[in-house]
Amino acid sequence: MKQVSGRALVAILRRHGWRLDRVRGSHYVMVKPDRPEIITVPVHGNTPIKPGLLLAILRISGIDRSTL
C-alpha cells in the first residue's frame, strides 16, 4: 500500500466532501454534513500514517484505497 502523510490524507478527504471541523494539537477532526462519523487524522509533518490507521480511515470515509 502507498504511504500517505497526514496532510495528504486531509487533502484527499477534502476532495471527497469531508470538511475540517476543528484542530486539536496535531489532530485534524474531519466531518461530512450527511454522515454521522467523525474522522480524526494525525498530522505530524510529513510522517506517513501507519497502514492500519490508514485503512480504518478509508473504510470509515467510504473512499476506495485505489484512489490514493
What type of residue is 13? Answer: L
Sequence-separated (6 or more) residues with CB below 8 Å from residue 10:
20, 28, 30, 41, 43
Return the CATH number at 33. Answer: 3.30.920.30
Per-residue confidence band for 67, with pLDDT thresholds at 50, 70 and 90: confident
Per-residue confidence band for 1, with pLDDT thresholds at 50, 70 and 90: confident
In a domain? residue 63: yes
Q: What is the pTM of this model?
A: 0.92
Domain count, the chain: 1
Do residues 50 and 41 touch, judged by C-beta distance below 8 A?
no
In a domain? residue 1: no
Q: Which domain holds residue 11?
A: 6-67
Per-residue confidence band for 40, with pLDDT thresholds at 50, 70 and 90: very high
Do residues 4 and 46 touch, judged by C-beta distance below 8 A?
no
Q: For residue 67, give Cα distances in angstroms to 4, 15, 18, 22, 26.
A: 12, 11, 15, 25, 25
Which tens digits make up the pLDDT trace of 5-21? Answer: 999 999 999 999 999 99
